Amino acid sequence: MKTVKLLSLFSGIGAFEKALRNTSIDFDVINYCEIDKYASYAYSILHDISEQLNLCDVSKINPDTLKEFDLLTHGSPCQSFSLAGKGEGGDEGSGTKSSLMWYTVDIIKKKLPKYIIWENVKAVTCKRHRHNFLKYIDTLNKLGYNNYFKILNSKDYGAPQSRERVFVISIRKDIDTCLFKFPKPIDSLTSINSILDEDIDKKYYCINKYTRDFINKVDRKAADNKEPNKYGLLRVGEIKNPNALDMNNRVFSTASTCPTILTGSHSVPKIMEYKLRRLTPCECWKATGFTQEDYWNVRNALELRFYNGKDKSDSKMYKMAGNSIVVNVLEHILKELFKN
């Protein structure tokens, strides 16, 4: 197979690139595009790619100046589609973060790459936002692409995280063999236990009057005889903190997968060991398909460049994990896409 020329938009820390490397698909990044300076530097460190290749702002890209490429990947911003966001939507020209997806379409119109992969929250397919989803599919169809789409949950592909996302695979009609099928789910469930660190810093433990009440009242063995729900989750109970959102009060068994990791450190999933604690940033990275080595390479580099070597990067590391696509799912998709 020839080297795949990749244009990576809304790159984050490069989940597509990690998945391509893990599946031994030879690729070459012509450019990446990431506006967040911390994520851009993390991407550069992880993939040994110069930040000079970063196009930074997708709205300022001139497609005519781009080199030719085979594969375009874009996990465009989901905030305006997400149930956790304001629901502003992504109408073209509206100025919302999610409307940035249409700059990708402008690039596609000019360059017509062989393959396109788009990832977003499943809420983009709901009644309120479906018109944008259908417009994207219809536009690419008129541009000469066959489009395959499906909502996949990362816990079905070996990840210890339940994260549902919609994936759209677009293949140019002149090269499409019509054999692409989304990967079948794996039968086994990967639990939180598989990613837990040892020697946890005390700052990750949840200690306040609400958590103390929870620990005193919870039946620690109650979840042992239960089966995880359809999302692979096994809830131990809920903290009765009236000042927190319901989702931030939920506590999960380490025998289950963890719920979707979000960008804020306040919303990091809570687990029940012998004490109650949040997942660490490193554990969140591992739940997203990156390695402990990846995590420490990036963390150490960030602290040296932005914090004079001081330990101040927790929030950035949480945010990067929460923004990332789960690598495990991408590996299975890419294997199917390029197996022929």
Structure tokens at 278: 């949040």
Bigger pLDDT: 229 or 291? 291
| Mean pLDDT of the 67-88 span | 78
Structure tokens at 129: 């936002």
| Mean pLDDT of the 109-133 span | 90
What integer pLDDT is reported at residue 161 of this predicted model? 95
* pLDDT bracket for residue 1 (50, 70, 90): confident
Q: Which of 86-90, 117-121, 143-147, 195-199 has the lowest mean pLDDT?
A: 86-90
| Mean pLDDT of the 320-326 span | 95
Give the integer Cα–Cα distance in Å for 15 and 32.
Answer: 12
What integer pLDDT is reported at residue 82 of this predicted model? 64
What integer pLDDT is reported at residue 326 of this predicted model? 98
What integer pLDDT is reported at residue 274 of this predicted model? 56
| Mean pLDDT of the 44-65 span | 97
Q: Which of 16-20, 106-110, 276-280 has the lowest mean pLDDT?
A: 276-280
Please, what is the average pLDDT of the chain?
88
Q: Which of 108-112, 217-221, 286-290, 321-325 has the lowest mean pLDDT?
A: 217-221
Give the integer Cα–Cα distance in Å for 162 and 298.
Answer: 24
* pLDDT bracket for residue 338 (50, 70, 90): very high
Residues linked to residue 119 through DSSP beta bridges, in sequence order: 167
| Cβ atoms of residues 221 and 253 within 8 Å | no
What integer pLDDT is reported at residue 232 of this predicted model? 76
* pLDDT bracket for residue 310 (50, 70, 90): confident
| Mean pLDDT of the 34-57 span | 97
What integer pLDDT is reported at residue 220 of this predicted model? 54
Provide the 10 A C-beta neighbour count for residue 254: 18
**pTM score, two decimals?**
0.87
User: Which stretch, 76-80, 190-194, 208-212, 262-266, has highest mean pLDDT?
Assistant: 190-194
Annotated catalytic sites, by residue?
Answer: 78
Instruction: Say which residue the tokens 């009440």 belong to.
Output: 213
pLDDT, tens digit (0-9, with 9 covering 90-100), for 233-263: 777 777 677 767 776 777 777 777 888 887 7
For the cut 60, the answer to whether the pLDDT of residue 130 exceeds it is yes
Residues linked to residue 33 through DSSP beta bridges, in sequence order: 9
Q: Where are the beta strands (DSSP E) in 10-163?
A: 27-33, 71-74, 115-121, 145-153
Q: % helix / strand / coil in the chain, to the nearest 5? A: 40, 20, 45
| Cβ atoms of residues 258 and 287 within 8 Å | yes
What integer pLDDT is reported at residue 229 of this predicted model? 80
For the cut 90, the answer to whether the pLDDT of residue 101 exceeds it is no
Residues linked to residue 51 through DSSP beta bridges, in sequence order: none
What integer pLDDT is reported at residue 97 of this predicted model? 73
* pLDDT bracket for residue 93 (50, 70, 90): confident
| Mean pLDDT of the 59-78 span | 93
For the cut 90, the answer to whether the pLDDT of residue 126 exceeds it is no
Residue 324 burial (CB < 10 Å; 0-12/13-18/19+)?
buried
**Structural domains of the chain, ranges and CATH numbers in brackets:** 4-184+323-338 (3.40.50.150), 192-289 (3.90.120.10)
* pLDDT bracket for residue 203 (50, 70, 90): very high
Give the integer Cα–Cα distance in Å for 177 and 182.
Answer: 14
What DSSP string describes 157-173?
A: GT-SB--EEEEEEEEET
The secondary structure element, H or E, covering residue 300 is helix 292-306
% of the chain at pLDDT higher than 70: 86
Residues linked to residue 29 through DSSP beta bridges, in sequence order: 6
Question: Taking Cα atoms as reference points, which of 302, 246, 297 lies closest to residue 38?
Answer: 302
Give the integer Cα–Cα distance in Å for 157 and 331.
Answer: 9
What integer pLDDT is reported at residue 18 of this predicted model? 99
Give the integer Cα–Cα distance in Å for 180 and 339.
Answer: 9
Q: Is 271 helix (H, G, I), strand (E, B) or coil?
A: strand
Distances (CA, A) of 295 to 11, 35, 259, 318, 326: 17, 20, 20, 11, 15
β-pairing, 4-9 vs 71-74, is parallel
Instruction: Say which residue the tokens 């789910």 belong to.
Output: 185
| Mean pLDDT of the 201-220 span | 75
For the cut 90, the answer to whether the pLDDT of residue 170 exceeds it is yes
For the cut 90, the answer to whether the pLDDT of residue 195 exceeds it is yes
